[in-house]
Amino acid sequence: MKRLLPGKGFFGYLLYTAAVLLLMLWLQFPTAAVKAKAESELNRMLPGFVWRIGSVGLALPADIRFSQIRISGKDGKEPLLVIESIKLRPDFAAWQKTRSWSALWRLQALGGAASGRAALRKDRSGLDYSGELSGIRLDSLGLQKILAAWGRTATGTLSASFSGKQDGQNGLFAEFESRFSMKKGTVSLQKPVLGMKELAFDSLSAALRHHRDRVLHVETGKLTSRLLEASFSGTVSLQTADFSLSQLRLHGQLAPRSEFLASLGSPLAASLLKTQLQDGGKLPFDLVGPVSEPGIIFAGLPADFSSQLGGGDSGR
């Protein structure tokens, strides 16, 4: 019986064969073809941008690594955003369990990271995906370039969980749901709002939902800061060719704290504001207009109320 068992030499031969096959795959990996195919798919799924991949390679244990992915506008000029790396790894456990093609992915960019899973649907109609991101810095160079084009700056740290569906007709965000949160940040304002030149917050969060209708639904939005709290919800009518032209239509309520009223520096203005507070000290507002330059309307307040107050406390 012992003669039927393979000896040490047999296992050594198997190990040698596996090593040779791995080396051949590594040396002859079709880098150019994979790079061209990946760029083509990314440009198809997100047609409003031009994607260029710096390099493609293999990494242990079974990863394909895409490095220095540059995302530009349709003019193809200076990139709006650079993703440091994206790694894809076959999800062997999912294949064994469901015989479905799927991959685990990890992305590094903007000072943070994102990771998750993407799976090809059995009817080959598109991808289902999910993931989480954390540590994304709003003051990173890539985002600041985008915001600068809108005349804005921002700071803070973004985290989120998300899931979605991609198909050929509706792109990567055919269906999409997410819950995001930003911590300890600021957003500059193009015009003073209630005397503030920038909005500082301790936390800003909301749920997002999109289902093939080119309308992004914003739900259970909440902002907290030292001077005020706010809740909001509404929609964003998406313009895929130029996101900055997407139309905001949000409605909410703002609850100023006593410190905020004191910061106005005008007893008359504070008195006028107090008379408009409703439902336990809340001020209704509407945020409408393009994403790049929306306008805010406070019901019952004069149209020039904010500009009369000048630049006050930021609200941190």
Please provide residue 8's backbone torsions phi and psi, each rounded to the nearest 5 degrees: -60, -35
pLDDT value at residue 52: 93
Q: If we measure between CA atoms, which residue out of 40, 37, 47 comes closest to residue 173?
A: 47
Torsion angle, alpha carbons of 186, 187, 192, 194, to 10: -60
Residues in the chain: 316
What's the CA gap between 129 and 107, in Å, rounded? Answer: 14
Q: If we measure between CA atoms, which residue out of 194, 114, 202, 205 comes closest to residue 162?
A: 114
Q: How far is CA 187 from the centre of its chain?
A: 16
Successive 10-residue mean pLDDT values, the chain, 316 residues: 48 54 58 87 82 87 88 78 91 76 92 94 87 94 82 94 87 92 94 86 97 93 95 93 89 90 77 79 92 87 68 54
CA distances from 239 to 10, 211, 247 (A): 63, 15, 8
Contact present, 283 and 255 (Cβ < 8 Å): yes
**Taken in order 228, 199, 183, 173, is the CA torsion positive or negative?**
positive
pLDDT value at residue 1: 44
**Taken in order 207, 148, 290, 282, is the CA torsion positive or negative?**
positive
pLDDT value at residue 73: 78
Contact present, 278 and 231 (Cβ < 8 Å): no
pLDDT value at residue 17: 55
41: its two tokens:
């798919």
Q: Work out the angle at residue 44's Cα, subtended by the Cα atoms of residues 206 and 133, and round it to the nearest 5 degrees.
A: 30
